[in-house]
Amino acid sequence: MYELNPPLESQEKSVAASRAFSAYLRDLARARRVEPRGDLISGLAQVADEGDVLTEGELVGTCALLLNAGHEASVNGAGNAWWTLFRHPDALARLRADHALVPSALEELLRWDTPLPMFERWVLEDIEVGGVRIERGTELALQFASANRDPDAFDDPEALHLDRDPNPYLSFGAGIHYCLGAPLAKLELGILFTRILERMPDLELLAEPRWKPTFILRGLEGLPVRTRASR
């Protein structure tokens, strides 16, 4: 549903799935308001600010946002990052030897192969960029993947430096559009990478992966790996 000009069949499936998921969440939220449990939806259903509570629509929208933003991009980011590391064995060996590099390594890996390479934006005021006049109301495709390799912003942009500093990459956007979930995504990826490095220090690639047939959400269909113990 996020891709450019999706086929009509995909649009119809997306609408049907959205309606079904919305109905499921509404029923679940109503049940959790009556009998709360120790889960996130129960917490959202009980949120109150000076007597105001989340409306049913707001709760459903929040849950859908958390699922879409907190799952797909994080999964793709992790898969893309490990595929990058397997293709850069020296960097992987360095990370295995020094787990303290994980925070900066993740920043660099997200720069190197962002799971969200392009976003659309609408121009609010007439502007001129690089000598090209762009009128208010124009829809633009912003290539974050290209910006992350900008030689004016990064030294040696085509090289993978796990300790790159500074690293002003744009994979989470910028300004008022900066991803609200960026801290959570970094926390998730940090835990994931640290645990894998600790528990599977000999993880190795089995075969070259295949990419999903999408671009706006860029990720692998799967990453076949194994440990020596599983051979």
Return the active site residues.
69, 72, 74, 179, 188
* Cβ–Cβ < 8 Å for 83, 113: yes
Joined together, the tokens standing for residue 154 give 């990064």
Identify residue 137 by its one-letter amino acid code. Answer: G
Joined together, the tokens standing for residue 20 give 């079904």
Joined together, the tokens standing for residue 224 give 């076949």
* Cβ–Cβ < 8 Å for 115, 171: yes
Identify residue 66 by its one-letter amino acid code. Answer: L
